[in-house]
Structure 1
């Protein structure tokens, strides 16, 4: 094998669809204004108090350019057209055209925690109600994790490697990290990397409800009359995360290709750390989480005090937020009160495999604008008083390096250090 080229890797474009909006610009505008994108579930009917969710507003795959009525019918796993559209938007945002030079050198690494579970549900409904011949012959490709990236390539014209990383709620960061290593080593010049999730079906909603992961909104909860208050990371009254659909895709490029193509670098993938807990399926292990953050900072050639902001995993669960705070104390020590912390899930919910990629895009835009997004719905928790949470409204503050955290079921961890430009 040839030696790695050790090229620097930059972010030159990004796209997102979230509960705040079906494109990045809308998501950013509403996030900066301190809004939340939550509402009562409308995608399906489920008898549960965990019925406050994050739905992408006005999302209709059949209305996308180039999607016929038949295409929309047979490709009924929501993550497929979400992937295609986000890849298209990320390329457009960067101004990169797929041609004879770029197409074969563009990889696509888009992951999902649950893949085509919505398509499987439709197939099972057809099977039980209409019989075996009504199971779609497209079911299997709808379930194949790499097919969304493959469909994006067919639509947009890139022929580099397509891979579907799967790291549960850390999937987005895993995809970015793997793509960065591919470019750094010379296996690709460009990469579309991120995560996509279409998870709002009864079985998934009830599964999270019954494992006590999502918030149950009763009549006495402050979100009962205002669903926007349901997600409250690091808040005294946090009670579980808000399940959300969403997608985030970053376009990465090698330094030499940025120059040659006249692209605008927004940020650099400066460092990454990844490991696993070997501990518990859902409860994090503090020492390995600490090691993951430290590895990302060291890989960037930095010290903890060089980090200007933390984009926290911040799910809004009692134990999860407390453990992440504990780990941040171990990493930053007495410097922690000087490190601003943001938690985007307060506004867009937890979109599982897509969450980290969306949060990375928001963090990069924050560095570009010199504005830190708010962690809304916050009531101070005395046990977390040492955290400098950017609470309830945006803060104007320059930041050169962001530590972006993501941790997932099965004990999988992936942290990135993003350098602003």
Structure 2
């Protein structure tokens, strides 16, 4: 194999759809105001007490104008169209046009934790109610993890590598990390990297509830009358994450192509650290999480003293938040009090495989604008009092780097350091 080119990698565009808004701009504006986008589920009917979720408001893929009605009948896994729309909008934000020069050098890596679960549910219902011949011949393509990227390529014209990094709730960071490595080494010049999740079906909602991962909103809980308060990372009364749908796509580009095409860099991907726990299928493991953080900082050529801000995994689970803070204490030591920590899931919920990609886009935009986005719904926990979680309101702050954390089921960890430009 050829020697790697060791090129710098920049983020030149992004877009997102979240519980705060169906576009990045609408998401950003509400995040800046400290709002949270949660409500009782309308996508399906469920008897679960974990019925407060994050739904993308006003989401209609046909309204985008680039998808035909006939397509919508065949492709009933919502993550397919969500990916197609997000990839197109991210390329537009980057100003990157697919042509004979750029298309063969553009890859697409979109991760997901649960893939086309909604399509499988429809097929099972059709099979049990109407018989075997009513199972769609499109079922298997609807379940394939790489199909959303493939459909985006068919629409947009890029012909570089496409695949789906499967890192559970760290999938978005895995996509960014792998894409950055591919560009660095010369495998491609551009990568659309991100994650997508359309998980709001009764079985998934109930499954998370039965494993006590998501919050059960009972009478007396502050979210019972106001669902927006359901996700509260690092708060003393945190009770579990809020399950949410969403997607995020970032466009990465090699340094010399940024210059030759006149693209605008928004941030540089400077460090990647990844590990696996070999410990438990859901419980976080401090030694390997600490190693992933430390290796990301070291890969960036930095020390912990150079990191002023962390975009945390911050799910709002009692155990997960506590362990993440303990890991931050191990990394930063007595210096932790000067480090700010934001948990975007307090506003957008936990979008599983899409989470890290959305959070990367929000983190980069915040760094560019000299803003710290808040950790919403925060009531202090005395055991975590040494951490500045930017409680409840955005704050002006200038900084050059941030560390973005993502951890997933199966004990997979991926941390990335971004540098401002």
**Partners of 2:213 and 2:394 in 1: how far apart?**
28
CA deviation string 1:262-286 (max 9, x = no partner): 0000000010000100000000110
In the alignment, structure 1 residue 105 sits paired with structure 2 residue 94: no
RMSD: 0.5
**Partners of 1:272 and 1:65 in 2: how far apart?**
37
CA deviation string 1:281-310 (max 9, x = no partner): 000110100000000000000000100200
**Partners of 2:68 and 2:89 in 1: how far apart?**
19
> Which residue in the other structure is 1:215 paired with?
215
Report the secondary structure of 2:215's partner residue.
coil
User: For structure 2, which runs of at least 5 residues remain unmatched after alignment?
Assistant: none
> Which residue in the other structure is 1:364 paired with?
364
**Partners of 2:147 and 2:64 in 1: how far apart?**
18
Alpha-carbon deviation of 1:63?
A: 2.2
**Partners of 2:232 and 2:270 in 1: how far apart?**
30
Alpha-carbon deviation of 1:64?
A: 2.4
In the alignment, structure 1 residue 403 sits paired with structure 2 residue 374: no
Q: How does 1:12-411 map to 2 (within 5 A)?
A: 12-411=12-411
Give structure 1 regions of 4+ aligned residues with deviation exceeding 4 angstroms: none
**Partners of 1:389 and 1:58 in 2: how far apart?**
30
User: For structure 1, which runs of at least 5 residues remain unmatched after alignment?
Assistant: none
CA deviation string 1:39-92 (max 9, x = no partner): 000000000110000000011123222212210111000100010000001000
Report the secondary structure of 1:388's partner residue.
coil
Using the size of structure 2 for normalisation, the TM-score is 1.00
**Partners of 2:168 and 2:303 in 1: how far apart?**
28
- The count of residues paired between Structure 1 and Structure 2 equals 421
**Partners of 1:116 and 1:413 in 2: how far apart?**
23
Alpha-carbon deviation of 1:413?
A: 0.2
**Partners of 1:61 and 1:194 in 2: how far apart?**
18
**Partners of 1:35 and 1:367 in 2: how far apart?**
19
Using the size of structure 1 for normalisation, the TM-score is 1.00
Report the secondary structure of 2:336's partner residue.
helix
CA deviation string 1:100-146 (max 9, x = no partner): 11000000000100000000000001001111000000000000111
Report the secondary structure of 2:223's partner residue.
coil
Alpha-carbon deviation of 1:399?
A: 1.2
